Amino acid sequence: MVLEQAAPLLCAGVTVYSPLRQFGLNVSGLRGGILGLGGVGHMGVKIAKAMEHHVTVISSSDKKRVEAMEHIGADEYLISSDATKMQEAADSLDYIIDTVPVVHPLEPYLSLLKLDGKLILMGAINDPLQFVSPMLMLGRKTITGSFVGSMKETEEMLEFCKEKGLKTMIEVVKMEYINTAFERLEKNDVRYRFVVDVAASNLHQ
């Protein structure tokens, strides 16, 4: 594994690997959803596909469809504002990894889950989220959360990614580019992690 892959895998990699393992979802044949295609979400697609899951990316717009399906390997792409497609996808997923870090409704995504399905929250949100309880009760569905993982899970994840040849999508930059990198981060203009190459940087400017 090349050195620049280490930090992104120790962040996004273990963040999505841990709940799949902890909740017994690291078996083949499941149907999973990844809500939000960013730094964590794109690794969610890759790791779930490597576990032989059928993976649907769920997004608010169509702009990442080609990237999700042709470059990252998702099987399906679902736009959350398309009521017809959302209805057609109801009760179809075993789990959804929700990486969205801002307030958003949970009910549209709970409706996509099968009996005993799990909605796994991974975006840190400081405001209350709301849902109506029958959405959970009628399908024995679960809302849960996860944040990074243990040392053992980290070791397992690194070995898993090595075995499956998984890599994060990154941009390697030098320290002198750091201000521009921050400006691009504010515009959500990075796919999907910046990695700073300190050794190759001019630190004496």
How is the chain split into domains, by residue range?
A: 14-164, 169-204
Asked if residue 177 has a cis previous peptide bond (ω within 30° of 0), the answer is: no
> What's the pLDDT score for residue 204?
64
Closest CA to 2 of 165, 189, 173: 165
> What's the pLDDT score for residue 153?
95
> What's the pLDDT score for residue 7?
85
- pLDDT tens for each residue of the chain, 205 residues long: 678 888 889 989 999 999 999 999 999 999 999 999 998 999 999 999 999 999 999 999 999 999 999 999 999 999 999 999 999 999 999 999 999 999 999 999 999 999 999 999 999 899 988 888 998 999 999 999 998 899 999 999 999 999 999 988 888 998 999 999 999 988 888 888 888 888 777 776 5
Give dist(CA 49, CA 149) in Å, integer: 20
The pTM assigned to this predicted structure is 0.91
Q: What are phi and psi of 62, to 5 degrees?
A: -90, 0
Give dist(CA 84, CA 182) in Å, integer: 38
> What's the pLDDT score for residue 191?
83
Give dist(CA 43, CA 8) in Å, integer: 9
Dihedral of CA atoms 58, 61, 65, 71 in degrees, nearest 10, equals -80
Closest CA to 144 of 60, 1, 18: 18
> What's the pLDDT score for residue 32?
98
> What's the pLDDT score for residue 78?
97
Q: What are phi and psi of 72, to 5 degrees?
A: -105, -25
- CB 91 within 8 Å of CB 112: yes
CATH number of 14-164: 3.40.50.720, 3.40.50.300, 3.40.1710.10, 3.60.70.12?
3.40.50.720
Tokens representing 16 are 């999505």
> What's the pLDDT score for residue 46?
96
